[in-house]
Amino acid sequence: MKNILNKTLMLFALVILFTSCESTDLELQVNPLSLSPESANPDFLLNGMLLGTATQHVTLSFLTSSTVRQVNQFGTYTNNIQGFTDTSMNGAWVSNYQLMSNLNLLKEYSVDRNLPHHIGVAQILNAFQMLNLVDYIGTATYSQAVQPDLYPRPGLDSGESIYAEMVILLEEGITNLHQTAAYTHADSFYNGDLTKWEKLANSLLIRLYVQSRKAANFDAVVASQKINSIVTSGMYISNEDEDFQIQFGTQDTNPDNRHPFFTANYLGAPSLYMSNYFMDKLLFDKSVEDPRLKHYIYRQTNVAPTGGFVNDCLSGNSGGSPCYVGNGYWGRIHADETGIPNDNLLRATYGAYPAGGAFDNNDAVSVLNVSNMGGAGIHPMITSTLMHFLLAEAVLTIPGVTGNAATYLDNAMQASFTKVSNFTGVTMNNVAAYKTEVLGDYNGSVNVESKLEIIITESHLAMFGNGVEPYNAYRRTGYPTFNDSFQNAGSFPRSMFMPKSELDSNDNPDMVQKLLTDQVFWDTNSAGFID
C-alpha cells in the first residue's frame, strides 16, 4: 500500500505539471498518457485514473476556496490570485477525457483478462469527474466523447442530461463491482476494498440528488426512494475509515509528497492570507471558541498589528475596511487588494489540519521555528462528515426522505470534530458546549430556511480544505451569508469559463465561450441570489 501511494503521489506531481500546460483535445486519437492493451498493467492504469481524479479535485478546490472564504481572496472575482480565466478549467477538463480514454482501454483489455472490478472503479471515478465538470462549467461532452472515428468534432451535452447519465454510470459501476473477476485489482485509495468503492458510488448518488434538488425536472419521488434505500442498506460513507481522500507524506525529494499547503507556507514565509471571515466565524460566532480553530489555523504571533489594520472584525461588523480579527489572527478581508505589508512571518496560516502543518499550542513563533507534522496532510473529497450534512439537508428539503435532520446535523458535527482531532492527535475542548448551542439554535428555528442556514453554515466550517463542496452549497442554498467584502468584488461566479484548450482545438459550433454569471442547470436561484 505504501509503495502504491508513493508512486501515486509521484505521478500526482507529474500530472499537476502536465495539466498546467494548455495541450490536448478530444480529437486526440493516441493519448500519450495511455498504454496499449499489450503493455498495460491494469492496476497502473487504474491508479493513473485515481491520480487524475485527485488532481482534478485539488485543482477545483483551490480555484474556488477563496470565493467561499476558506482563504483570503486578493482582489475581485476576475482579478485575484486564483484567477477565473478561460484557462482555469483546462486541466480539470483534460483529466476527465484522459480517464474516459483509459476506461475504454480497460474495457478492451478486459475482453481477455476479465476485469469488471477495474472497470467498475473506473466508472465511479468517471462519474465523479464528470459531475465536477457539470457543477463547475454547466456542460461537458459525454455522448460523443473519445470517439474520434464517429465524432471528430464532439459537441456538448446539457448538464441535466449528463446528471441522468451519471446515475446510470454509477449503478453500472456498482454492478461491475459485484461481478466475478479473474484478476483482483489493487488501488492506492481503498487498497482494493470493493465495499468501500460501492459506498463511494452510493455517496455520489446521494450527493447528486441533493445537488440537483432545485432543478426544473427534479423528481423528488425517485430521489427520496433512492436515498432512503441507500441509507437503509448502510452502503454509503458514514465512518471516517471510509473517507475518500488524498493522504500526503513527509518525503521532500524524489518525489516531494508533502501537502501543497505545507510546502507553500512552511518552507519559507507563508504565501497566503487566511480569510478574516472564516477565522472570525471560528473565533466569535458561538459562545465558545470553535473546537477546530487551533487545529485549522496556526498563529505566528499573539501581537496585534498596528496602523490601518486595527479595526475590530467581530461577527456582523467585518465589512467595509481592512480589519484585524483579534487574538493574533492576522488575516485579510475578502477582495482587499491594497498594498501588502512585510507581515509574512506574522500572518496566520494553515495549521495541522488538513495541511500537515503545526497545531497552534499558543507558541506564537514563526512557521520556520515551530514543530509541525512535516506536510503529512490530507485533501478531503467525499467524507462521512460531508455525507451526514448532505443527509441533513436531504431530510429537510426533499419530500419523502426519511430520518431526523437534527440527528444528522449532530452526527456531522461530531464526525468533523473526531476526524480533525484524530488527525492531529490533540484532544479538543468545547465540543459538547458547541454542539449543544448549535442544536439548540436548530431546534429553536421556526422555519425550514433558518434550519437550512444552520446546516450549511456548519458544513461550511467543517469542509475546511475542500473548496468544492462549499462552492456548490453556496450556489445551491445561498448560505452561509457573507457580508465581508472590502470592495465590490463583482458578480459572484455562478460557473466557470469553458476551457480555452477545448475551444482552441474543437471547431464544433457548440464550442463557444460562456459567462461567469451563467448558472448551471441545478442553480435555479435568481441572478442576484448571492453576492
Segments making up each domain of the chain, as ranges: 2-18+43-250+496-505
Residue 528: partners with Cβ closer than 8 Å, 6 or more residues away: none
- Encode 227-241: b = buried (16+ Cβ within 10 Å), e = exposed: beebbeeebbbbebe
Q: What is the pLDDT, as a whole number, of residue 13?
A: 40
The H or E element containing residue 32 is none
Q: What is the pLDDT, as a whole number, of residue 75?
A: 74
Q: Please give the backbone phi and psi of residue 75, each rounded to the nearest 5 degrees, phi first.
A: 100, -170
448-462 helix and 468-477 helix, angle to the nearest 10 degrees: 170
- Summarised one tens digit per residue, pLDDT across range 374-399 is 999 999 999 999 999 999 999 999 99
Q: What is the pLDDT, as a whole number, of residue 170?
A: 98
Q: What is the pLDDT, as a whole number, of residue 411?
A: 98
Q: What is the pLDDT, as a whole number, of residue 317?
A: 43
Q: What is the pLDDT, as a whole number, of residue 237?
A: 98
Residue 523: partners with Cβ closer than 8 Å, 6 or more residues away: 214, 475, 476, 494, 495
pTM: 0.91
d(CA 129, CA 119) in angstroms, rounded, equals: 15
Q: Please give the backbone phi and psi of residue 247, each rounded to the nearest 5 degrees, phi first.
A: -105, 120
d(CA 40, CA 38) in angstroms, rounded, equals: 6
**Counting beta carbons within 10 angstroms of the beta carbon of residue 477, is it exposed (0 to 12), middle (13 to 18) or buried (19 or more)?**
buried
- Three cell numbers written together for 90: 483546462
Q: What is the pLDDT, as a whole number, of residue 143?
A: 98
Q: Please give the backbone phi and psi of residue 424, each rounded to the nearest 5 degrees, phi first.
A: -85, -20
- Three cell numbers written together for 362: 499558543
d(CA 61, CA 64) in angstroms, rounded, equals: 6
Closest CA to 481 of 69, 54, 172: 69
Positions in the chain whose pLDDT score sits under 50: 1-35, 309-321
Q: What is the pLDDT, as a whole number, of residue 316?
A: 39
Identity of the residue numbered 220: A
Just give the CATH number of 2-18+43-250+496-505. Answer: 1.25.40.390
